[in-house]
Amino acid sequence: MSEPKKLKKLSKRTDAAIEALKTQRLRWVMGISQVGVKIDEDRYHAVVDNITKDEIERQMIIGAIKEKGPMTIKELSEATDIPPDQILRHIIALRKAGTVSEAGEKERGYLYTVL
Amino acid sequence: MEEAVMEKTEFEPTIIAFCCNWCAYAGADLAGTSRFEYPTNVRIIRVMCTGRIDPTIILSAFRSGADGVLIAGCHPGDCHYVKGNYAMERRFNFLKDILKHLGIEPERLILEWVSAAEGGKFAALIRNVTKQIKDLGPNPLKRQ
């Protein structure tokens, strides 16, 4: 990519990040309340719901692996009743955080274990 | 002669320093009255508390072409407003992540604690920060 193009892209991304920092969701995470801005109750509950649901599902995945040993995404989905695409999303997040990692393969899929 | 004219001028960074009114700004004042020398690359902005600095302002500084941003506040436990500096620390870690995502070196953002009695520390801090930013080179957003 040429230099001016790269620069334009970076400028756009920075502008987006500035806008993102103004969103209620990120401001809650950072612990900033906006004076005079009334919190939209529905949106607040939706965000809190999402975060709690994610955390609960992730703990379910970790619990299942701890209980039964390394598992594939398909097995985890069966053990926890969480759809496989969601399991994959959580596994990616947990892998990033260094909580789970691959431990061999089984039936053309990776086995995941808790570190 | 040509060489002398063409001599590469050294990169001089622009550093925005947010100093809290009660500690770091007083420290900067002390550095001045004590005649400690420090580079002129820093532009000090006084804020009442580091906890009052909105993260959007820090990103806007980078967007406007600041090569570095220094946040200087009270030592942990010494905040005039009890826990403003802890709030800043939390946002600081968050902002570093955002900078990493954007592709701007997170090292350009610096958080340091300076008390009102630490004029020497303030001068040394500015010297170190200026050197650090000089080594990093200009902000990639600066050329626009």
Percent of chain B with pLDDT over 70: 93
Q: Which pLDDT score is estimated for B6?
A: 63
CATH T-level topology, domain A52-115? Arc Repressor Mutant, subunit A (1.10.10)
Write the CA distances from A66 to A100, B16, B71, B141, integer angstroms. Answer: 11, 49, 43, 47
Give the tens place of pLDDT for each residue, A69-115.
999 999 999 988 889 999 999 999 999 989 899 888 888 889 999 98
CB-based burial label for B81 (10 Å; 0-12, 13-18, 19+): middle
CB contact under 8 A, B102 and A10: yes
Chain B interface, mutation test: which of A1, A7, A15, A21, most B Cβ atoms within 10 Å? Answer: A21
For B67-123, how does the pLDDT look when each residue is reduced to its tens digit (9 = 90+)?
999 999 999 999 999 999 999 998 898 898 889 888 899 999 999 999 999 999 999
d(CA B59, CA A72): 41
**Residue A56: band (very low, low, confident or very high) from pLDDT cuts 50, 70, 90:** confident
**Percent over 90 (pLDDT), chain B:** 77
Contact assignment for B90 to A7 by CB distance below 8 Å: no
| Residue spans of alpha helices (H) in chain B | 2-6, 24-33, 55-63, 84-102, 119-136
Position with higher pLDDT, B19 vs A9: B19
Q: How far apart are CA A49 and CA A67, in angstroms?
A: 26
Confidence category of residue A3, pLDDT binned at 50, 70, 90? confident
pLDDT for the residue numbered B59: 93
- Torsion angle (degrees, nearest 10) of CA A85, A28, A97, B83: -170
Report the predicted TM-score, pTM, of the whole model to 2 decimal places. Answer: 0.70
Q: Look at residue A89 in the predicted model and tell me its pLDDT.
A: 93
Q: Does B102 touch chain A if contact means CB atoms closer than 8 Å?
A: yes
Please give the mean pLDDT across all residues of chain A.
Answer: 85
Running DSSP on this structure, what letter comes out for residue B62? H
Residue predicted with more confidence, A26 or B140 = B140
Predicted confidence at residue A34, as pLDDT, reads 63
Mean pLDDT comparison of A49-53, A109-113, B9-13, highest-scoring range: A109-113
* Cα–Cα distance, A17 to A78 (Å, whole number): 38
CA dist B40 and B28 (Å) reads 13
Please tell me which residue, B61 or A52, carries the higher pLDDT value. Answer: B61
Q: Chain A within 8 Å of B57 (Cβ-Cβ)?
A: no
Residue A10 has its nearest CB partner, among B54, B94, B141, at B141
CA end-to-end span of chain A: 39
CA torsion sign for B16, B40, B21, B119 is positive
**Nearest CA distance, B85 vs chain A (angstrom):** 13
**Is residue A38 scored above 90 in pLDDT?**
no
pLDDT reported for residue A53: 83
CA–CA separation, B140 vs B65, rounded Å?
A: 8
The pLDDT of residue A36 is 63
Domain limits, chain A: 1-39, 52-115
